[in-house]
Structure 1
Amino acid sequence: MAEERTATSMRSLERAIDVLEVLDSSRRPLRLTDIARRAGLPVATTQRILTVLEARGRVERDGHEYRPGVALLLGAHAYLTSSPLLTAARPVLHDLAASTGLTSSLFKRLGASRLVLARVQGTTPLRYELPIGERLPLHVGAGKVLLAHMDPEQRRALLSPAPGAGAPADPAVDPVVDHEQFDAQMDAIRAAGFSQARGEREPGMASVAVAVLVDGSSTECAVQVAGRQEELPVERVPALSVEVRRAARAIAQQLP
Protein backbone atom coordinates (compact mmCIF):
# COMPACT_ATOMS: atom_id res chain seq x y z
CA MET A 1 0.00 0.00 0.00
CA ALA A 2 2.79 2.43 0.91
CA GLU A 3 4.55 1.64 -2.37
CA GLU A 4 1.34 2.35 -4.29
CA ARG A 5 0.93 5.71 -2.55
CA THR A 6 4.55 6.58 -3.34
CA ALA A 7 4.09 5.62 -6.99
CA THR A 8 0.91 7.70 -7.19
CA SER A 9 2.64 10.70 -5.61
CA MET A 10 5.56 10.43 -8.02
CA ARG A 11 3.22 10.23 -11.00
CA SER A 12 1.37 13.32 -9.76
CA LEU A 13 4.69 15.15 -9.47
CA GLU A 14 5.70 14.09 -12.97
CA ARG A 15 2.39 15.32 -14.37
CA ALA A 16 2.78 18.69 -12.64
CA ILE A 17 6.26 19.04 -14.14
CA ASP A 18 4.87 18.09 -17.57
CA VAL A 19 2.33 20.92 -17.27
CA LEU A 20 5.01 23.41 -16.22
CA GLU A 21 7.24 22.36 -19.11
CA VAL A 22 4.40 22.93 -21.57
CA LEU A 23 3.96 26.46 -20.23
CA ASP A 24 7.73 27.04 -20.17
CA SER A 25 8.03 26.09 -23.84
CA SER A 26 5.22 28.35 -25.01
CA ARG A 27 5.83 31.98 -25.89
CA ARG A 28 2.20 32.89 -25.22
CA PRO A 29 -0.50 32.03 -22.67
CA LEU A 30 -2.35 28.77 -23.31
CA ARG A 31 -5.90 27.59 -22.77
CA LEU A 32 -6.65 24.59 -20.58
CA THR A 33 -7.41 22.30 -23.51
CA ASP A 34 -4.16 23.24 -25.26
CA ILE A 35 -2.12 22.52 -22.13
CA ALA A 36 -3.83 19.16 -21.64
CA ARG A 37 -3.24 18.17 -25.27
CA ARG A 38 0.42 19.16 -25.27
CA ALA A 39 1.06 17.45 -21.92
CA GLY A 40 -0.83 14.34 -23.01
CA LEU A 41 -3.12 14.51 -19.96
CA PRO A 42 -6.88 14.43 -19.40
CA VAL A 43 -8.45 17.87 -19.18
CA ALA A 44 -9.78 17.22 -15.67
CA THR A 45 -6.35 16.16 -14.42
CA THR A 46 -4.74 19.19 -16.03
CA GLN A 47 -7.30 21.48 -14.40
CA ARG A 48 -6.55 20.07 -10.94
CA ILE A 49 -2.81 20.50 -11.45
CA LEU A 50 -3.21 24.08 -12.68
CA THR A 51 -5.39 24.95 -9.70
CA VAL A 52 -2.69 23.81 -7.26
CA LEU A 53 0.10 25.52 -9.21
CA GLU A 54 -1.89 28.75 -9.41
CA ALA A 55 -2.46 28.70 -5.65
CA ARG A 56 1.32 28.39 -5.16
CA GLY A 57 2.11 31.20 -7.61
CA ARG A 58 3.79 28.90 -10.12
CA VAL A 59 1.05 29.57 -12.67
CA GLU A 60 -0.93 32.73 -13.41
CA ARG A 61 -4.28 32.93 -15.16
CA ASP A 62 -5.88 35.65 -17.26
CA GLY A 63 -9.45 34.65 -17.99
CA HIS A 64 -9.23 31.27 -19.70
CA GLU A 65 -5.49 31.37 -20.42
CA TYR A 66 -2.54 30.28 -18.30
CA ARG A 67 1.11 31.32 -18.23
CA PRO A 68 4.13 30.71 -15.93
CA GLY A 69 3.78 32.44 -12.57
CA VAL A 70 6.03 34.89 -10.76
CA ALA A 71 6.94 32.36 -8.04
CA LEU A 72 9.01 30.44 -10.58
CA LEU A 73 11.53 33.27 -10.24
CA LEU A 74 12.30 32.02 -6.73
CA GLY A 75 13.79 28.80 -8.06
CA ALA A 76 15.56 30.64 -10.87
CA HIS A 77 17.14 33.07 -8.40
CA ALA A 78 18.25 30.25 -6.13
CA TYR A 79 19.93 28.52 -9.06
CA LEU A 80 21.66 31.66 -10.30
CA THR A 81 23.07 32.44 -6.85
CA SER A 82 24.11 28.92 -5.78
CA SER A 83 25.23 27.13 -8.94
CA PRO A 84 28.94 26.10 -8.85
CA LEU A 85 28.91 26.30 -12.65
CA LEU A 86 27.93 29.97 -12.64
CA THR A 87 30.31 30.79 -9.81
CA ALA A 88 33.13 29.36 -11.93
CA ALA A 89 31.96 30.89 -15.20
CA ARG A 90 31.19 34.53 -14.35
CA PRO A 91 34.78 35.81 -13.86
CA VAL A 92 35.94 33.82 -16.87
CA LEU A 93 33.24 35.36 -19.06
CA HIS A 94 34.18 38.86 -17.85
CA ASP A 95 37.82 38.24 -18.77
CA LEU A 96 36.85 36.79 -22.15
CA ALA A 97 34.63 39.76 -23.01
CA ALA A 98 37.37 42.19 -21.95
CA SER A 99 40.09 40.46 -23.98
CA THR A 100 38.05 39.98 -27.17
CA GLY A 101 35.68 42.95 -27.07
CA LEU A 102 32.88 40.49 -27.92
CA THR A 103 29.83 39.43 -25.94
CA SER A 104 30.62 36.27 -23.97
CA SER A 105 27.95 33.76 -23.02
CA LEU A 106 27.51 30.45 -21.25
CA PHE A 107 24.89 27.97 -22.46
CA LYS A 108 23.69 24.71 -20.93
CA ARG A 109 21.80 21.98 -22.74
CA LEU A 110 18.41 21.00 -21.39
CA GLY A 111 16.83 18.25 -23.44
CA ALA A 112 16.59 19.36 -27.06
CA SER A 113 17.31 23.03 -26.30
CA ARG A 114 20.05 25.18 -24.83
CA LEU A 115 19.51 27.83 -22.20
CA VAL A 116 21.35 31.12 -21.68
CA LEU A 117 22.87 30.92 -18.19
CA ALA A 118 25.20 33.92 -18.15
CA ARG A 119 26.18 36.76 -20.46
CA VAL A 120 28.70 39.61 -20.41
CA GLN A 121 28.34 42.33 -23.02
CA GLY A 122 31.27 43.16 -25.26
CA THR A 123 32.45 46.57 -26.43
CA THR A 124 29.54 46.88 -28.87
CA PRO A 125 26.16 45.72 -27.55
CA LEU A 126 24.44 43.05 -29.62
CA ARG A 127 21.55 44.03 -31.87
CA TYR A 128 19.12 41.76 -30.07
CA GLU A 129 18.09 41.03 -26.51
CA LEU A 130 18.85 37.58 -25.15
CA PRO A 131 17.74 37.36 -21.52
CA ILE A 132 19.05 34.83 -19.01
CA GLY A 133 16.95 31.69 -19.24
CA GLU A 134 16.10 32.14 -22.92
CA ARG A 135 15.47 28.82 -24.66
CA LEU A 136 17.37 28.44 -27.94
CA PRO A 137 17.70 25.65 -30.53
CA LEU A 138 20.61 23.23 -30.62
CA HIS A 139 20.98 22.97 -34.39
CA VAL A 140 22.35 26.51 -34.86
CA GLY A 141 24.99 28.67 -33.20
CA ALA A 142 26.61 27.43 -30.00
CA GLY A 143 24.23 24.48 -29.90
CA LYS A 144 26.20 22.79 -32.66
CA VAL A 145 29.31 22.36 -30.53
CA LEU A 146 27.20 20.51 -27.96
CA LEU A 147 25.63 18.26 -30.59
CA ALA A 148 29.06 17.55 -32.05
CA HIS A 149 30.09 15.72 -28.89
CA MET A 150 27.07 13.39 -28.97
CA ASP A 151 26.84 10.11 -30.85
CA PRO A 152 24.72 10.23 -34.06
CA GLU A 153 21.85 8.25 -32.55
CA GLN A 154 21.49 10.68 -29.65
CA ARG A 155 21.58 13.64 -32.03
CA ARG A 156 18.89 12.17 -34.23
CA ALA A 157 16.66 11.51 -31.24
CA LEU A 158 16.99 15.14 -30.16
CA LEU A 159 16.51 16.65 -33.61
CA SER A 160 13.66 14.35 -34.65
CA PRO A 161 11.17 14.30 -31.75
CA ALA A 162 8.45 11.70 -31.85
CA PRO A 163 5.24 13.00 -33.48
CA GLY A 164 2.67 14.02 -30.91
CA ALA A 165 5.12 14.04 -28.00
CA GLY A 166 4.53 17.12 -25.89
CA ALA A 167 4.31 20.44 -27.67
CA PRO A 168 3.93 20.51 -31.46
CA ALA A 169 7.15 20.61 -33.45
CA ASP A 170 8.62 24.10 -33.72
CA PRO A 171 10.92 24.43 -36.78
CA ALA A 172 13.12 26.84 -34.82
CA VAL A 173 13.73 24.23 -32.15
CA ASP A 174 12.80 20.88 -33.72
CA PRO A 175 14.31 21.13 -37.21
CA VAL A 176 14.01 18.71 -40.08
CA VAL A 177 17.63 18.07 -41.06
CA ASP A 178 19.54 15.93 -43.53
CA HIS A 179 21.15 13.72 -40.89
CA GLU A 180 24.01 12.47 -43.07
CA GLN A 181 25.11 15.99 -43.98
CA PHE A 182 24.62 17.15 -40.41
CA ASP A 183 26.67 14.24 -39.04
CA ALA A 184 29.53 15.19 -41.38
CA GLN A 185 29.34 18.79 -40.15
CA MET A 186 29.36 17.58 -36.53
CA ASP A 187 32.43 15.42 -37.18
CA ALA A 188 34.24 18.47 -38.58
CA ILE A 189 33.31 20.60 -35.55
CA ARG A 190 34.44 17.93 -33.13
CA ALA A 191 37.76 17.55 -34.95
CA ALA A 192 38.32 21.33 -34.96
CA GLY A 193 37.37 21.69 -31.28
CA PHE A 194 35.05 24.64 -31.88
CA SER A 195 32.08 25.76 -33.95
CA GLN A 196 31.52 29.01 -35.79
CA ALA A 197 28.33 30.55 -37.12
CA ARG A 198 27.63 33.45 -39.43
CA GLY A 199 24.08 34.74 -39.67
CA GLU A 200 22.58 31.41 -38.65
CA ARG A 201 20.20 32.65 -35.97
CA GLU A 202 20.50 36.43 -36.29
CA PRO A 203 21.32 38.14 -39.63
CA GLY A 204 24.61 40.01 -39.60
CA MET A 205 25.90 38.30 -36.45
CA ALA A 206 28.75 35.81 -36.01
CA SER A 207 30.01 33.63 -33.18
CA VAL A 208 32.62 31.09 -32.07
CA ALA A 209 31.76 28.45 -29.45
CA VAL A 210 33.63 25.73 -27.53
CA ALA A 211 32.21 22.95 -25.37
CA VAL A 212 33.07 22.84 -21.68
CA LEU A 213 34.58 19.37 -21.23
CA VAL A 214 34.11 18.04 -17.71
CA ASP A 215 36.30 15.01 -16.92
CA GLY A 216 37.49 15.21 -20.50
CA SER A 217 34.23 14.14 -22.11
CA SER A 218 30.94 15.36 -20.57
CA THR A 219 29.58 18.25 -22.61
CA GLU A 220 26.43 19.86 -21.30
CA CYS A 221 27.72 23.45 -21.52
CA ALA A 222 29.34 25.72 -24.08
CA VAL A 223 31.14 29.07 -24.00
CA GLN A 224 30.56 31.47 -26.89
CA VAL A 225 31.79 34.85 -28.09
CA ALA A 226 29.49 36.74 -30.44
CA GLY A 227 29.38 40.05 -32.25
CA ARG A 228 28.68 41.72 -35.55
CA GLN A 229 30.23 40.00 -38.54
CA GLU A 230 32.50 42.97 -39.13
CA GLU A 231 33.85 42.53 -35.57
CA LEU A 232 34.40 38.83 -36.15
CA PRO A 233 35.87 38.40 -39.65
CA VAL A 234 36.78 34.91 -40.82
CA GLU A 235 40.50 35.55 -40.44
CA ARG A 236 39.99 36.28 -36.73
CA VAL A 237 38.29 32.95 -36.01
CA PRO A 238 41.42 30.82 -35.35
CA ALA A 239 42.77 33.22 -32.72
CA LEU A 240 39.34 33.57 -31.11
CA SER A 241 38.91 29.81 -30.97
CA VAL A 242 42.09 29.61 -28.89
CA GLU A 243 40.79 32.21 -26.41
CA VAL A 244 37.37 30.60 -26.12
CA ARG A 245 38.97 27.16 -25.69
CA ARG A 246 41.11 28.57 -22.89
CA ALA A 247 38.00 30.00 -21.21
CA ALA A 248 36.15 26.68 -21.47
CA ARG A 249 39.08 24.88 -19.85
CA ALA A 250 39.26 27.46 -17.05
CA ILE A 251 35.58 26.88 -16.24
CA ALA A 252 35.90 23.08 -16.34
CA GLN A 253 38.92 23.09 -14.04
CA GLN A 254 37.00 24.94 -11.33
CA LEU A 255 34.02 22.59 -11.29
CA PRO A 256 33.76 20.02 -8.48
Structure 2
Amino acid sequence: MAPNESPMRSLERAFDVLAVLEQNIRPLRLTDIAQQAGLAVSTTQRILNVLEGRGLVERDDSTYQLGVGTVPMAHAFLRGNRLSAAALPVLQELASATGLTASLFVRSGLSRVVVARVEGEHPLRYALPIGERLPLHLGAGRVLASGMTDEEVDELLQTVDVIQMQSGLELTPEEFKESLQAIREDGYLVAHSERAVGITSVSAPVFSASGRMVGVVIVSGADAHMTEEKIQQVVWEVRQAAQSIGQRHLSAPEPVQARNTIGR
Protein backbone atom coordinates (compact mmCIF):
# COMPACT_ATOMS: atom_id res chain seq x y z
CA MET A 1 0.00 0.00 0.00
CA ALA A 2 1.31 3.42 -0.96
CA PRO A 3 2.08 5.92 1.82
CA ASN A 4 -0.98 7.81 3.10
CA GLU A 5 -3.32 5.56 1.12
CA SER A 6 -6.24 4.09 3.04
CA PRO A 7 -6.89 0.32 2.94
CA MET A 8 -10.30 1.03 1.40
CA ARG A 9 -8.76 3.04 -1.43
CA SER A 10 -6.28 0.25 -2.11
CA LEU A 11 -9.18 -2.21 -2.26
CA GLU A 12 -11.08 0.01 -4.68
CA ARG A 13 -8.04 0.23 -6.96
CA ALA A 14 -7.63 -3.55 -6.91
CA PHE A 15 -11.26 -3.92 -8.00
CA ASP A 16 -10.65 -1.35 -10.74
CA VAL A 17 -7.79 -3.48 -12.07
CA LEU A 18 -9.89 -6.66 -11.92
CA ALA A 19 -12.71 -4.88 -13.75
CA VAL A 20 -10.36 -3.89 -16.58
CA LEU A 21 -9.20 -7.49 -16.97
CA GLU A 22 -12.76 -8.81 -16.81
CA GLN A 23 -13.99 -6.43 -19.50
CA ASN A 24 -11.17 -7.33 -21.90
CA ILE A 25 -11.13 -10.85 -23.29
CA ARG A 26 -7.56 -10.67 -24.54
CA PRO A 27 -4.51 -10.43 -22.23
CA LEU A 28 -3.31 -6.87 -21.59
CA ARG A 29 0.06 -5.26 -21.08
CA LEU A 30 0.81 -3.47 -17.83
CA THR A 31 0.64 -0.03 -19.43
CA ASP A 32 -2.75 -0.77 -21.00
CA ILE A 33 -4.18 -1.92 -17.67
CA ALA A 34 -2.86 1.16 -15.92
CA GLN A 35 -4.31 3.47 -18.56
CA GLN A 36 -7.76 1.86 -18.54
CA ALA A 37 -7.87 1.77 -14.73
CA GLY A 38 -6.69 5.36 -14.48
CA LEU A 39 -3.76 4.41 -12.26
CA ALA A 40 -0.01 4.96 -12.24
CA VAL A 41 2.01 2.13 -13.75
CA SER A 42 3.87 1.56 -10.47
CA THR A 43 0.60 1.32 -8.52
CA THR A 44 -0.88 -1.04 -11.09
CA GLN A 45 2.20 -3.26 -10.90
CA ARG A 46 1.94 -3.56 -7.11
CA ILE A 47 -1.75 -4.46 -7.34
CA LEU A 48 -1.13 -7.05 -10.07
CA ASN A 49 1.61 -8.66 -7.98
CA VAL A 50 -0.78 -9.09 -5.05
CA LEU A 51 -3.59 -10.41 -7.24
CA GLU A 52 -1.21 -12.81 -8.97
CA GLY A 53 -0.13 -14.14 -5.60
CA ARG A 54 -3.78 -14.88 -4.82
CA GLY A 55 -4.35 -16.65 -8.13
CA LEU A 56 -6.79 -13.99 -9.32
CA VAL A 57 -4.43 -12.80 -12.05
CA GLU A 58 -2.08 -14.74 -14.31
CA ARG A 59 0.97 -13.35 -16.08
CA ASP A 60 2.32 -14.63 -19.38
CA ASP A 61 5.53 -12.94 -20.46
CA SER A 62 4.56 -9.27 -20.59
CA THR A 63 0.76 -9.58 -20.44
CA TYR A 64 -1.85 -10.21 -17.73
CA GLN A 65 -5.28 -11.79 -17.63
CA LEU A 66 -7.72 -13.08 -15.01
CA GLY A 67 -6.44 -16.14 -13.20
CA VAL A 68 -7.99 -19.50 -12.47
CA GLY A 69 -8.69 -18.33 -8.92
CA THR A 70 -11.68 -16.40 -10.22
CA VAL A 71 -13.41 -19.57 -11.45
CA PRO A 72 -14.23 -21.04 -7.99
CA MET A 73 -15.60 -17.64 -6.98
CA ALA A 74 -17.99 -17.60 -9.95
CA HIS A 75 -18.93 -21.23 -9.26
CA ALA A 76 -19.67 -20.43 -5.62
CA PHE A 77 -21.95 -17.59 -6.70
CA LEU A 78 -23.92 -19.81 -9.08
CA ARG A 79 -24.30 -22.55 -6.49
CA GLY A 80 -25.22 -20.24 -3.64
CA ASN A 81 -27.32 -17.66 -5.45
CA ARG A 82 -30.97 -18.25 -4.55
CA LEU A 83 -32.32 -16.47 -7.61
CA SER A 84 -30.47 -18.56 -10.19
CA ALA A 85 -31.29 -21.74 -8.24
CA ALA A 86 -34.97 -20.81 -8.21
CA ALA A 87 -34.87 -19.91 -11.89
CA LEU A 88 -33.26 -23.04 -13.35
CA PRO A 89 -36.24 -25.46 -13.15
CA VAL A 90 -38.57 -22.71 -14.35
CA LEU A 91 -36.30 -21.95 -17.32
CA GLN A 92 -36.19 -25.66 -18.16
CA GLU A 93 -39.99 -25.74 -18.29
CA LEU A 94 -40.05 -22.50 -20.28
CA ALA A 95 -37.56 -23.77 -22.87
CA SER A 96 -39.52 -27.01 -23.18
CA ALA A 97 -42.86 -25.23 -23.56
CA THR A 98 -41.66 -22.72 -26.16
CA GLY A 99 -38.90 -24.72 -27.87
CA LEU A 100 -36.70 -21.64 -27.58
CA THR A 101 -33.72 -20.49 -25.52
CA ALA A 102 -34.68 -19.27 -22.04
CA SER A 103 -32.33 -17.16 -19.93
CA LEU A 104 -32.18 -15.19 -16.71
CA PHE A 105 -30.24 -11.93 -16.52
CA VAL A 106 -29.43 -9.77 -13.53
CA ARG A 107 -28.19 -6.22 -13.51
CA SER A 108 -24.54 -5.52 -12.70
CA GLY A 109 -23.85 -1.81 -12.63
CA LEU A 110 -24.64 -0.43 -16.07
CA SER A 111 -24.73 -3.83 -17.79
CA ARG A 112 -26.55 -7.13 -17.49
CA VAL A 113 -25.12 -10.58 -16.84
CA VAL A 114 -26.61 -13.96 -17.78
CA VAL A 115 -26.70 -16.22 -14.69
CA ALA A 116 -28.85 -19.10 -15.99
CA ARG A 117 -29.63 -20.38 -19.47
CA VAL A 118 -31.45 -23.37 -20.98
CA GLU A 119 -31.54 -24.19 -24.69
CA GLY A 120 -34.80 -25.25 -26.29
CA GLU A 121 -35.62 -27.38 -29.31
CA HIS A 122 -34.53 -24.52 -31.57
CA PRO A 123 -31.28 -23.19 -30.02
CA LEU A 124 -29.79 -19.87 -31.05
CA ARG A 125 -27.04 -19.89 -33.65
CA TYR A 126 -24.60 -18.24 -31.24
CA ALA A 127 -23.37 -19.33 -27.81
CA LEU A 128 -23.85 -17.05 -24.83
CA PRO A 129 -21.85 -18.38 -21.88
CA ILE A 130 -22.91 -17.93 -18.28
CA GLY A 131 -21.35 -14.74 -16.94
CA GLU A 132 -21.39 -12.90 -20.27
CA ARG A 133 -22.01 -9.15 -19.96
CA LEU A 134 -24.46 -7.46 -22.31
CA PRO A 135 -25.67 -3.87 -22.58
CA LEU A 136 -28.61 -2.44 -20.64
CA HIS A 137 -29.90 -0.27 -23.47
CA LEU A 138 -30.78 -3.11 -25.86
CA GLY A 139 -33.20 -6.05 -25.70
CA ALA A 140 -33.91 -7.48 -22.27
CA GLY A 141 -31.52 -4.91 -20.83
CA ARG A 142 -34.22 -2.31 -21.36
CA VAL A 143 -36.48 -4.24 -19.00
CA LEU A 144 -33.84 -4.01 -16.28
CA ALA A 145 -33.31 -0.33 -17.14
CA SER A 146 -37.02 0.26 -16.64
CA GLY A 147 -36.53 -0.58 -12.97
CA MET A 148 -33.77 2.01 -12.51
CA THR A 149 -34.18 5.49 -11.06
CA ASP A 150 -34.23 8.54 -13.33
CA GLU A 151 -30.72 9.40 -12.16
CA GLU A 152 -29.45 5.91 -13.01
CA VAL A 153 -31.06 6.05 -16.45
CA ASP A 154 -29.37 9.39 -17.12
CA GLU A 155 -26.04 7.89 -16.05
CA LEU A 156 -26.61 4.97 -18.43
CA LEU A 157 -27.41 7.30 -21.32
CA GLN A 158 -24.19 9.22 -20.72
CA THR A 159 -22.22 6.03 -21.44
CA VAL A 160 -23.95 5.35 -24.78
CA ASP A 161 -23.03 7.48 -27.79
CA VAL A 162 -25.96 6.36 -29.94
CA ILE A 163 -28.80 4.01 -29.02
CA GLN A 164 -28.78 1.98 -32.22
CA MET A 165 -30.25 -1.47 -32.67
CA GLN A 166 -28.90 -4.07 -35.07
CA SER A 167 -31.99 -3.50 -37.20
CA GLY A 168 -30.72 0.03 -37.81
CA LEU A 169 -33.40 1.68 -35.69
CA GLU A 170 -32.11 4.50 -33.50
CA LEU A 171 -33.68 5.93 -30.35
CA THR A 172 -33.18 9.40 -28.99
CA PRO A 173 -32.70 9.67 -25.20
CA GLU A 174 -36.30 10.88 -24.94
CA GLU A 175 -37.60 7.93 -26.99
CA PHE A 176 -35.52 5.56 -24.88
CA LYS A 177 -37.09 6.90 -21.69
CA GLU A 178 -40.55 6.62 -23.26
CA SER A 179 -39.83 2.98 -24.11
CA LEU A 180 -38.97 2.33 -20.46
CA GLN A 181 -42.29 3.78 -19.37
CA ALA A 182 -44.08 1.55 -21.88
CA ILE A 183 -42.33 -1.49 -20.40
CA ARG A 184 -43.42 -0.44 -16.90
CA GLU A 185 -47.02 -0.22 -18.09
CA ASP A 186 -47.05 -3.41 -20.19
CA GLY A 187 -44.96 -5.59 -17.90
CA TYR A 188 -42.97 -7.12 -20.77
CA LEU A 189 -40.97 -6.30 -23.91
CA VAL A 190 -40.96 -7.79 -27.39
CA ALA A 191 -37.72 -6.88 -29.19
CA HIS A 192 -36.92 -7.46 -32.85
CA SER A 193 -33.29 -7.49 -34.05
CA GLU A 194 -32.15 -5.21 -31.24
CA ARG A 195 -28.92 -6.95 -30.26
CA ALA A 196 -28.68 -9.57 -33.02
CA VAL A 197 -30.11 -9.43 -36.54
CA GLY A 198 -32.93 -11.90 -37.19
CA ILE A 199 -33.55 -12.61 -33.50
CA THR A 200 -36.79 -11.83 -31.67
CA SER A 201 -36.95 -11.89 -27.90
CA VAL A 202 -39.65 -11.62 -25.25
CA SER A 203 -38.64 -10.59 -21.75
CA ALA A 204 -40.36 -9.84 -18.44
CA PRO A 205 -39.13 -8.62 -15.05
CA VAL A 206 -38.72 -10.75 -11.94
CA PHE A 207 -39.68 -9.07 -8.67
CA SER A 208 -38.76 -9.93 -5.09
CA ALA A 209 -41.36 -10.10 -2.33
CA SER A 210 -40.81 -6.39 -1.63
CA GLY A 211 -41.44 -5.40 -5.25
CA ARG A 212 -37.81 -4.81 -6.16
CA MET A 213 -36.77 -5.92 -9.63
CA VAL A 214 -34.12 -8.62 -9.20
CA GLY A 215 -33.80 -9.99 -12.71
CA VAL A 216 -35.35 -10.47 -16.12
CA VAL A 217 -36.50 -13.64 -17.89
CA ILE A 218 -35.98 -13.70 -21.65
CA VAL A 219 -36.90 -16.15 -24.39
CA SER A 220 -35.05 -15.68 -27.67
CA GLY A 221 -35.46 -17.29 -31.06
CA ALA A 222 -34.90 -16.80 -34.76
CA ASP A 223 -37.58 -14.77 -36.53
CA ALA A 224 -38.62 -17.90 -38.41
CA HIS A 225 -39.77 -19.45 -35.13
CA MET A 226 -41.40 -16.27 -33.81
CA THR A 227 -44.65 -15.72 -35.70
CA GLU A 228 -47.18 -13.24 -34.28
CA GLU A 229 -49.22 -16.13 -32.88
CA LYS A 230 -46.09 -17.67 -31.36
CA ILE A 231 -45.06 -14.36 -29.81
CA GLN A 232 -48.40 -14.03 -28.03
CA GLN A 233 -47.96 -17.51 -26.58
CA VAL A 234 -44.40 -16.74 -25.54
CA VAL A 235 -45.43 -13.47 -23.87
CA TRP A 236 -47.82 -15.40 -21.63
CA GLU A 237 -45.25 -18.13 -20.91
CA VAL A 238 -42.49 -15.63 -20.09
CA ARG A 239 -44.65 -13.56 -17.75
CA GLN A 240 -45.80 -16.71 -15.95
CA ALA A 241 -42.19 -17.87 -15.63
CA ALA A 242 -41.06 -14.52 -14.26
CA GLN A 243 -43.84 -14.59 -11.67
CA SER A 244 -42.99 -18.18 -10.72
CA ILE A 245 -39.31 -17.37 -10.22
CA GLY A 246 -40.24 -14.41 -8.06
CA GLN A 247 -42.42 -16.64 -5.88
CA ARG A 248 -39.71 -19.30 -5.59
CA HIS A 249 -37.06 -16.77 -4.72
CA LEU A 250 -37.06 -16.89 -0.93
CA SER A 251 -34.78 -13.99 -0.21
CA ALA A 252 -33.59 -12.63 3.09
CA PRO A 253 -35.34 -9.48 4.39
CA GLU A 254 -34.48 -6.55 2.15
CA PRO A 255 -33.99 -2.89 2.96
CA VAL A 256 -37.19 -0.88 2.77
CA GLN A 257 -37.51 0.49 -0.76
CA ALA A 258 -40.20 2.06 -2.90
CA ARG A 259 -42.37 -0.66 -4.36
CA ASN A 260 -41.98 -1.15 -8.11
CA THR A 261 -45.27 -1.32 -9.98
CA ILE A 262 -44.10 -2.58 -13.37
CA GLY A 263 -46.74 -4.80 -14.86
CA ARG A 264 -48.73 -4.84 -11.65
Q: Percent identity?
A: 49
1:239 partner letter: Q
CA distance in 1, matches of 2:63, 2:104: 33
Matched, 1:208 2:170: no
Instruction: Tell me which amino acid in the other structure corresponds to 1:201.
Output: R
Structure 2: which 5+ residue stretches go unaligned?
A: 165-169, 252-264
The question of whether the paired residues in 2 share the 8 Å contact of 1:214 and 1:252 is answered with yes
User: Structure 1 CA distance, aligned partners of 2:222 and 2:13?
Assistant: 43
Contact 1:111 1:158 in 2 (8 A): no
Q: Deviations over 1:96-118 (max 9, x none)?
A: 11111111000011001100101
Does residue 139 of the first structure (1) align with residue 133 of the second (2)? no
Match of 2:71 among 70, 73, 77: 73
Q: For 2:14 and 2:171, locate their aligned partners in 1 and report how far apart those are by CA, in whole Å.
A: 32
Q: What secondary structure is seen at the aligned counterpart in 2 of 1:150?
A: coil
Deviation at 1:216, TM superposition (A): 5.2
Structure-2 residue corresponding to 1:228: 222
Paired AA for residue 86 in structure 1: S
Give the ranges of 4+ consecutive aligned residues of structure 1 lying more than 4 Å apart after TM superposition: 169-172
SS of alignment partner, residue 224 of structure 2? coil
Residue 186 in structure 1 maps to residue 184 in structure 2: no
Structure 1 spans left out of the alignment, 5+ residues: 163-168
Which residue in 2 is equivalent to 1:34? Answer: 32
| Aligned mates of 2:203, 2:139 — CA distance in 1 | 8
CA–CA distance in structure 1, aligned partners of residues 171 and 197 of structure 2: 20
Taking a change above 3 Å as real, the CA distance of residues 251 and 117 of structure 1, as seen in their structure-2 partners, is same
The Cα of 1:170 is off from its aligned counterpart by 11
Partner Cα separation in structure 2 for residue 57 and residue 150 of structure 1: 35
Contact kept? 2:115, 2:130, Cα under 8 Å: yes
Cα distance, 1:236 vs structure 2: 2.5
> TM-score if structure 1 supplies the norm length?
0.88
1:58-88 Cα deviation digits (max 9, x unpaired): 1112222111111100100111111111111
CA contact (8 A) 1:107 1:221 kept: yes
Cα-Cα RMSD: 2.2
- Distance across 2 between alignment mates of 1:85 and 1:181: 32
Which residue in the other structure is 2:260 paired with? none
**How many Å apart are 1:234 and its aligned residue?**
2.8
**Match in the other structure for 1:165:** none
Q: How far off its partner does 1:159 sit?
A: 2.7
1:1-256 to 2 correspondences below 5 Å: 8-161=6-159, 178-215=172-209, 217-255=211-249, 256=251
- Aligned equivalents of 1:56, 1:103: Cα separation in 2: 37
Give the secondary-structure state (helix, strand or coil) at the position aligned to 1:226: strand
Size of the aligned set, in residue pairs, is 243
Rate the CA distance shift 1:58–1:177 in 2: closer, same or farther, 3 A.
farther
CA distance in 2, matches of 1:123, 1:40: 46
TM-score, normalization: structure 2? 0.86
